[in-house]
Amino acid sequence: MSTIKTLTLGAALACGTAMSAQANELHFIMCGGEIREADQTVVDAFVAKHDGVTVNIEAVPWGTCQDKSLTLAAAGDPPSIAYMGSRTLRQLANNNLIVEAQISEETRGAYQPGILNTVTVEGVEWGYPRAFSTKAMFINCDLAAAAGVACEAPKTWDDMYAMAKAINDNTEAAGVGLAGKDFDNTMHQFLNYLYSNGGVVIDPATGENKLDSTATRETLAFYEKLVSVAQEGPTAWERSQLKDLYNDGKIGMYIDGPWGRGQHNESINEITVPIPHGPQGDNGTILITDSIAVFKGSGHEELAHELAGMLTTGESQYALDTEWGLTPIFDYAALGFDAPYYEGDDYWQVFVKGIGAGGPEPLVEDFKSLQSVFTNMIQGIILADDTVDNLVEIAAEELDDAL
């Protein structure tokens, strides 16, 4: 069940009418089912700044939140503003339900490389990036030692495969956890490797489909190779389940976000390393953001833009990133923050260093169609249903249909 919290400034409007007060109430849909302290603080400051303005924050669970925002907007009763996955922005923009973001030049210049690509469709920014995550590889050093290999970061795919094969062949564990279930993070896992091989899915500036490429073929061929050293039946597993296999000592390595360290058994002797790169790339990662969208037709567009801007200042973002344990969305040192939480911390540096070579979660109108494009291709190679060339060609054609 969703929770609703109304924040009201004590002073009434000069006219004092209920109608005018209602006209100055912003409806803020917050995906995730909770109102975070960092967000609450900013909303309180915004309300205090505007005499007679209220903000009704409706916190809705992820499972229904994005559909609710879309349904309200399509019915002519849009929220003023919403925090949601950036993956929804293209659908909302294509249906003329949101307005372009108004990101200040100061804020724009502070974002980490590639962040704005996560909210950009054909050169237009449709959201204010708010929460950010990257990925890295976790390796069980005890399994590496038992396999007779040094527990150190594999720099390339060949290095990674050699380590995984040694673990697979010389211990009771599989070498690597491979996600292949019909689930969104199966696509995300693949994109970690694709972006680490210099690949592109959709050009953010032009909207052009770039999936059919040598980089994609090489990445899919590497997946085909990993099947022989992965857990049994990868098509039955998604990322959160790989974490369980890792905790049980049944796989030697897998990819996860910065929250992984807190979810692993304390007894595991592990290292966290950048995602190994392919023959054409550098150590990259998928760049995933949630963002704030301003809806069209609420009558509060300018106020909503102002609130979105306040929520995405350096101070506000730093509070959220530290509260949630997120990859830093800004270069906080460049903004003048003293000793940002990720500087001097080897763990955090792993998640930061891959940003420059990373790429966005692709923006399409129908995310489920996008997910199917990648799932079909990945499952096809895992199950040996077709060749790499045919699977990539088919996936690229399906992506054309999804755009």
Q: Give the model's pLDDT for residue 66.
A: 87
CATH superfamily of 3-132+290-353: Periplasmic binding protein-like II (3.40.190.10)
What tens digit of pLDDT does each residue of 340-358 get? 999 999 999 999 999 999 9
Summarised one tens digit per residue, pLDDT across range 175-186 is 999 999 998 899
Give 212's pLDDT tier (boundaries 50, 70, 90).
very high
Pairing of strands 270-273, 124-125: unpaired
The pLDDT confidence band at residue 73, using thresholds 50, 70 and 90, is very high
Where does the pLDDT of residue 257 fall: very low under 50, low under 70, confident under 90, or very high at 90 and above? Answer: very high
Do the Cβ atoms of 325 and 258 come closer than 8 Å? yes
pLDDT at site 23: 61
pLDDT digits (tens, 9 = 90+) for 149-199: 999 999 999 999 999 999 999 999 999 999 999 988 999 999 999 999 999
Model pTM above 0.85: yes
Sorted by where each begins, the domain ranges of the chain are: 3-132+290-353, 136-284+364-402
Please check whether the domain covering 136-284+364-402 is classified as CATH 3.50.90.10: no
The pLDDT, as a whole number, for residue 18 is 32
| Total length of the chain | 403
SS (H, E, C) 128-180: EEEEEECCEEEEEHHHHHHCCCCCCCCCEHHHHHHHHHHHHHHCCCECECCCC
DSSP symbol at 328: P
For residue 277, name the pLDDT band (cuts at 50, 70, 90).
very high
Residue 9 pLDDT more than 80?
Answer: no
Task: Let me know if the fold of 3-132+290-353 is the same as that of 136-284+364-402.
Answer: yes
Mean pLDDT of the residues in the chain: 92
